[in-house]
């Protein structure tokens, strides 16, 4: 089995991403890392991992582009199955074991994904996805432009099917996953496993934040082409339903609440303040900040009370 991981300036996260692959319970794989001329030290981090584990194959490249890197990695792959992984995400330890078992047991399936747990930049848990599990449900969502119905960094595919489909088409980046899935669906069955097998990181340098408008435009072209291949009429003004990414203020508020649930009060305060700065006119930002402050004060009060009680009950304390 071959794992394809492009890397570009993710030094903060890439070690955890690589180690989550090397720690899989299914151990018979190669990890093909394509570095797209990172400038932040990412390459050095992966090189350290490569020296410790010969399953890592590292290929530094001059600025090439995401899809071209994936296609080059596809050409280098030696496994029957291809797993995708991004350099800022985390695969849970049994991901490969479960996906390989599913493909082995279902010869008509060409790609199997999973549900994901979203995490913030600090790795704190956010929402869990509710992806469709069966082929028909997945394809219906893909034809609405929802490429993330099979999360790209959480998919495992049959190498032969991807090669037969023509690999990734760079002209449709950054919806290359949607385009590939729709072509794969014409060659076999798609599926998602019901459990969470990937932690998908949210941050403001991700493609979803930086290229959202371009994704909608290209997704419309990809879906229209897929409909034509299926013999379906395409309306002249066809466009997929637009999707809306949360604003920075909304993201900071969500992350602050997640940090508070995890009792990471310092992180919660950081996010709450940033939420107010990003949306000072939004009353809910101030409400979240007030909640974080109140929670912090309550925690301080409890800690002070507990410390006083310990002092009072200790030998020589005021309670003796």
Task: Show the domains of the chain with their CATH numbers.
Answer: 2-229 (3.90.550.10), 248-313 (no CATH)
Is the pLDDT score of 131 beyond 50? Answer: yes
Do β-strands 90-91 and 189-201 pair in parallel, antiparallel, or remain unpaired? antiparallel
| Residue 94 neighbours by CB distance under 10 Å | 14
* Cα(151)–Cα(28) distance, integer angstroms: 23
17: nearest Cα among 115, 86, 118: 86
Cis check for the bond before 174: say yes or no (omega within 30 of 0).
Answer: yes
Calculate ∠ Cα 293-298-301, nearest 5°. Answer: 125
* Cα(291)–Cα(256) distance, integer angstroms: 10
Do β-strands 189-201 and 109-119 pair in parallel, antiparallel, or remain unpaired? parallel
Do β-strands 109-119 and 125-128 pair in parallel, antiparallel, or remain unpaired? antiparallel
* Cα(73)–Cα(254) distance, integer angstroms: 36
Higher pLDDT, 191 or 240: 191
Residue 198 pairs in a beta bridge with 91, 116
pLDDT band at 11 (very low <50, low <70, confident <90, very high): very high
Higher pLDDT, 304 or 123: 123
Q: For 139-159, what is the mean pLDDT?
A: 96
Long-range contacts of 137-144 (CB under 8 A, 24+ apart): 138/181, 138/185, 138/190, 138/191, 138/192, 139/182, 139/185, 139/190, 142/178, 142/181, 142/182, 142/185, 142/223, 142/226, 143/182, 143/223, 143/226, 143/227, 144/223, 144/240, 144/241
What's residue 67's pLDDT?
95
What's residue 294's pLDDT?
85
What's residue 316's pLDDT?
55
pLDDT in tens, 61-76: 998 889 999 999 999 9
Is the separation of the CB atoms in 134 and 142 below 8 Å?
no
* Cα(123)–Cα(151) distance, integer angstroms: 18
* Cα(150)–Cα(32) distance, integer angstroms: 21
What's residue 296's pLDDT?
63
pLDDT band at 302 (very low <50, low <70, confident <90, very high): low
| Residue 198 neighbours by CB distance under 10 Å | 26
What's residue 319's pLDDT?
45
SS3 151: coil
Q: pTM of the predicted model, to two decimals?
A: 0.87
Is the pLDDT score of 297 beyond 60? Answer: no
* Cα(155)–Cα(173) distance, integer angstroms: 17
What's residue 177's pLDDT?
97
What's residue 318's pLDDT?
47
What are the Cα distances from residue 61, in Å, to 78, 82, 170, 241? 20, 21, 17, 36
Which segment of 5-14, 124-133, 308-317 scores lowest on mean pLDDT? 308-317
Is the separation of the CB atoms in 271 and 259 below 8 Å?
yes
Q: For 74-88, what is the mean pLDDT?
A: 98
pLDDT in tens, 248-291: 999 999 999 888 888 888 899 999 999 999 999 999 999 989 88
Percent of the chain with pLDDT over 90: 75
SS3 208: helix
pLDDT in tens, 15-59: 999 999 999 999 999 999 999 999 999 999 999 999 999 999 999
Q: How many angstroms separate the first and last alpha carbons of the chain?
A: 68
What's residue 208's pLDDT?
67
């Amino acid at each position: 089995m071959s794992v394809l991981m492009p890397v570009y300036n993710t030094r903060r996260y890439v070690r955890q991403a690589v180690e989550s692959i090397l720690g899989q319970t299914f151990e018979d794989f190669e990890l093909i890392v394509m570095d797209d001329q990172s400038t932040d030290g990412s390459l050095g981090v992966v090189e350290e991992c490569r020296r410790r584990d010969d399953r890592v194959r590292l290929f530094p490249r001059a600025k090439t582009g995401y899809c071209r890197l994936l296609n080059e990695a596809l050409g280098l792959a030696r496994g029957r199955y291809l797993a995708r992984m991004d350099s800022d995400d985390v695969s849970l330890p049994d991901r490969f074991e479960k996906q390989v078992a599913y493909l082995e047991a279902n010869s008509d399936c060409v790609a199997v994904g999973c549900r994901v747990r979203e995490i913030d930049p600090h790795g704190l848990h956010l929402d869990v996805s509710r992806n469709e599990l069966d082929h028909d449900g997945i394809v219906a969502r893909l034809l609405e432009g929802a490429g993330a119905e099979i999360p790209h960094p959480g998919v495992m595919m049959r190498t032969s099917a991807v090669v037969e489909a023509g690999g990734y088409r760079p002209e449709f980046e950054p919806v290359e996953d949607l385009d590939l899935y729709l072509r794969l669906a014409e060659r076999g069955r798609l599926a998602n496993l019901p459990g969470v097998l990937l932690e998908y990181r949210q941050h403001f340098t991700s493609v979803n934040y930086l290229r959202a408008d371009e994704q909608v435009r290209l997704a419309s072209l990809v879906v229209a082409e897929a409909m034509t291949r299926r013999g379906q009429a395409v309306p002249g003004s066809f466009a997929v339903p637009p999707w809306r990414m949360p604003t920075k203020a909304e993201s900071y508020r969500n992350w602050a609440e997640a940090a508070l649930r995890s009792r990471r009060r310092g992180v919660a305060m950081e996010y709450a303040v940033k939420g107010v700065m990003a949306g000072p006119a939004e009353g809910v930002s101030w409400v979240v900040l007030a909640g974080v402050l109140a929670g912090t004060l309550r925690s301080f009060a409890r800690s002070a009370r507990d410390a006083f009680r310990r002092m009072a009950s200790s030998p020589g304390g005021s309670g003796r």
